[in-house]
Amino acid sequence: MKKFIVLFLVSSAFLTITIAQTSFKEITLEDVWKKYSFYPATVSGINSMNDGVNYTMLVGETGVVKYEYKSGEKVATIIDLNELKVSGVSNINEYVFSADETKLLFSTEVEPIYRHSFVASYYVFDIKTKELKAISDKGKQQLATFSHDGTKVAFVRENNMFIKDLNTNEEFAITNDGKFNEIINGALDWVYEEEFNDSEANFLKPFVWSPDGSKIAYYKFDESNVKQFNMTMYGTLYPEWYKFKYPKAGEANSVVSIHIYDINKKQTIKVDVGNEKDQYIPRIKWTANQSTLCVLRLNRLQNKLEMLYADANTGSSTVAYTEEDKYYVEVTHDNLTFINDGKTFITSSERDGYNHLYLYDVNGNLIRQITKGEWDVTKFYGYDEKNKLLYFESAEVSPIQRHVYSIDINGNNKIQLTQKSGKNEPYFSKSFKYFINVHSDANTPYMTTLNDSKGKQIREFEVNKYNTVLLEKMKEYGFAKKEFLTIKTENNITLNAWMIKPLNFDPAKKYPVFMYVYGGPGHQTVMDEFDYNSVWYQLLAQKGYIVVSVDTRGSGARGADFRKVTYGQLGKYETIDQIDAAKYLGTLPYVDKTRIGIQGWSYGGYMSTLCLSKGSDVFKMAIAVAPVTNWRFYDSVYTERYMGLPQNNADGYDDNSPINHVEKIKGKFLLVHGTADDNVHFQNSMELVDALVKANIQFDMQFYPNKNHSIYGGNTRLHLFTKMTSFVLENL
């Protein structure tokens, strides 16, 4: 799910405000969404080298460049893009080294499939000989991956798996039954890609090489019985349908199986994952024992997680670890780490009410809880086996901040490695000797430093110079400070919030309030970090609006009870809290309580629509972008995790569907959707429109042909935010 927002069009009512603020430059929508004038610089694509003292980055038009951590000095250019262009390769999308760092595998000519997946042309570059070799000339590939010895590359093409032997140049198939919309080998179906994976970290590997490179374990999805969803694609005389398998809540999922191919024997075995076919396999991973594959098994209701050990030679399996929860066990991370001693593993759990790290023996017996406290571990970065230290991120200081820590395997000597308030995002070297830290706070763009394993700063990165200039530019344009506050609701619930006040704020005046909402389980909009979308809020502040966002019950980093209270009735408590927060804001002496509006995208669009209906006496207007309008329309994995099956929870699905509350709407409503949204289908908005018409509720709508859930490309984002801005100015 997603979010977003923006502004333009000056009405006469706000012209005097703009004139009165001539001491600051005016932010325009073109600045925000065409020129991206306030977009910060940051480092990306960092890959640590095996030695732990050097790293590589993909640098603009240069190529892949190697640097020394400590000095920041350039060591070498690994791949020169100018040299590649001679071979007809114009750019590099993503790259990875072979285990011995003698070769580099990269993708180019990328074509998207869904939001996160793509096909591309993959190449292997020999660093010593400078030889460039295409993986295949038989069509674009997916997910190309080196074997551990670097002699082979496995990849997927047209739903089948292949292996390319780099020594013999032979390409051979290890599956042949792949078929579009029926059988997928070695890649993910739509719902696994969206709900069990991460677009940046790629937690879920649809195939994994064994440590010695002799075997490869892979997923097979049989989606034959999954119902097909059709999207109309415009642009031709007769619009075409794009057809794909999308399991909605309560409907049939793919039947998932795990297989292991033996390279030497050229044989495939099927792993025993149990007799139940209506289940999930959210992860597979080789253990420290290369003849044992770990398979995570999750039941359909997602409240029971089991860890299976499968014999790589026979496929037989045993259950080694089980975790159950009365609500759900969320597998949206990759914290499971097998220690090289072959005797223990590290994983995370909410068993004590907060997400923490635990040490188990390989038989699933708890040895100890490593981290403890009334705070959540929000990321696990890895285990330094040499020094027996774990590195992780947590919300211990505050739910709205993130800091980096180390702790020893015995749960002692916890050290906070980052000190600056805000959000810290580290990139560790393979030796854990260094980490590159990207820090920001709500009012300061990203500042990047190199730190040692104790957190001591060694140097700053060059990009900081750009962001320092950007910070001065923000002052020239009168960026107001984003302030944090807490709101106590009528139900005595304390909620975190932020507020941006108008330029030249006068506490004696009354201001309209524009609220931004997301609200999905575990998500937070109230974070002390730099958010480019806030530039639009600054534009609104220049127009005389107070902008506010509130994290309600169900949001993250406040423990399992606070997050899971929404189980089975998504939208109920979140809407109550947003309405209560708006009522509180209306009591402030500088707020005009008759002019409070709300906007959201995706889950936020669902929330803004509910708020306008259930809070019709509180909200004057609402904008919903790509909203879910009934959870029956959304995908099985996400929806059932938080709602259970619709067959067992009909009231939970229907009581908080905006479709069933439209008759309560009194304020102005703008509905926005992309017609090619493969995530939150255009169907959601069409069903809502049908209900609005039946109830004779007037509304505005804006649709974008062939645009997906993110609604971008060309002038699309600028056009969208121009529309939303004018709607705000005219109706709030």
Instruction: Calculate the average pLDDT of the chain.
Output: 94
- Percentage above 70 pLDDT, the chain: 96
10 pLDDT band, cuts 50/70/90, is very low
- For residue 19, the model assigns a pLDDT of 36
The confidence band for 22, taking pLDDT boundaries of 50, 70 and 90, is low
**DSSP result, 137-169:** SSS-BEEEEE-TTSSEEEEEETTEEEEEETTT-
Q: Catalytic pick from 259, 403, 709, 710? A: 709
SS3 of 105-137: EEEEEEEECCCCCEEEEEEEEECCCCCEEECCC
Question: Exactly one of 636, 677, 678, 685 is catalytic; which is it?
Answer: 677
pLDDT at residue 88, rounded to an integer: 85
The whole-number pLDDT of residue 38 equals 96
Residue 5 scores a pLDDT above 60: no
What pLDDT shows up at residue 84? Answer: 87
Q: What is the pLDDT, as a whole number, of residue 200?
A: 62
Q: Taking Cα atoms as reference points, which of 241, 292, 253, 298 lies closest to residue 271?
A: 292
H-helix or E-strand spanning residue 433 = none
Report pLDDT digits (tens) over 565-578.
999 999 999 999 99
Q: Residue 52's closest CA among 538, 360, 315, 436?
A: 436
The verdict on whether 165 is a catalytic residue reads no
Checking if the pLDDT of 312 tops 70, the result is yes
Indicate if 655 belongs to the active site. no
In angstroms, the CA 30 to CA 28 distance is 5
Contact 720, 711 (CB under 8 A): yes
Per-residue pLDDT reduced to its tens digit, 202-227: 678 999 999 999 999 999 999 999 99
The full length of the chain comes to 732
Asked whether 518 and 3 are in contact (CB, 8 A), the reply is yes
pLDDT exceeds 80 at position 1: no
DSSP 660: G
Pick the CATH number of 12-38+477-731 from 3.30.460.80, 3.40.50.1820, 3.20.20.70, 1.10.150.120: 3.40.50.1820
Q: Which of 8-12, 115-119, 298-302, 500-504 has the highest mean pLDDT?
A: 298-302
pLDDT in the model for residue 11: 34
Please give the pLDDT value at position 6.
33
602 is catalytic: yes
Catalytic residue among 602, 608, 636, 710: 602
What distance in Å separates the CA atoms of residue 406 and residue 87, rounded to the nearest whole number?
A: 46
How would residue 14 be classed by pLDDT, with cut points 50, 70 and 90? Answer: very low
Question: Could you give the CA distance from residue 94 to residue 363 in angstroms, rounded to a whole number?
Answer: 38
Q: Give the per-residue pLDDT at 18.
A: 42
pLDDT of residue 715: 95
What integer is the mean pLDDT of 161-180? 96
Dump pLDDT digits (tens) for 54-64: 999 998 888 99
Tens of pLDDT along 58-114?
988 889 999 999 999 999 999 999 888 878 898 898 999 999 999 999 999 999 998
pLDDT exceeds 50 at position 272: yes
Are 206 and 186 spatial neighbours (Cβ–Cβ below 8 Å)? yes
Identity (one letter) of the amino acid at 141? Q
Task: Give the integer Cα–Cα distance in Å for 457 and 276.
Answer: 52
Confidence of residue 2 (pLDDT cuts 50, 70, 90): very low
β-pairing, 54-59 vs 403-408, is: unpaired
Predicted pLDDT of residue 127: 94
The pLDDT of residue 115: 81
| Residue 7, pLDDT above cutoff 90 | no
Question: For every residue of 468-500, which 3-state class applies, written as one string?
Answer: HHHHHHHHHCCCCCEEEEEEECCCCCEEEEEEE
- Provide the pLDDT for residue 68: 96
Whether 405 and 392 have beta carbons less than 8 Å apart is answered as: yes
pLDDT computed for residue 116 by the predictor: 85
Q: Are 148 and 212 in contact (CB under 8 A)?
A: yes
Cα 482 from Cα 530, distance rounded (Å)? 10
3-class SS of residue 448: strand
pLDDT at 90: 86
How would you classify the pairing of strands 415-416 and 423-428? unpaired
Domain residue spans of the chain:
12-38+477-731, 176-334
User: What pLDDT, on a 0 to 100 scale, did the predictor assign at position 44?
Assistant: 79
pLDDT of 712 above 60: yes
- The topology under which CATH files domain 176-334 is Methanol Dehydrogenase; Chain A (2.140.10)
| 266-292 average pLDDT score | 96
Q: Which residue has the tokens 């100015």?
A: 729
Lowest mean per-residue pLDDT among 141-155, 189-203, 432-446, 473-487: 189-203
Q: What pLDDT does residue 15 have?
A: 35
E-strand stretches of 453-590: 457-460, 482-488, 494-500, 511-517, 546-551
Contact indicator for 8, 33 with CB cutoff of 8 Å: no
Structure-derived torsion over alpha carbons of residues 411, 416, 422, 425, reported in degrees to the nearest 10: -70
Cβ contacts of 535 within 8 Å, gap of 6 or more: 27, 31, 32, 38
Whether residue 387 is predicted with pLDDT greater than 70 in this model: the reply is yes
Q: How many beta carbons lie within 10 A of that of residue 190, not counting itself?
A: 25
**C-alpha to C-alpha distance for 58 and 65, rounded to whole angstroms:** 6
Phi, psi of 41 (to 5 degrees): -95, 145
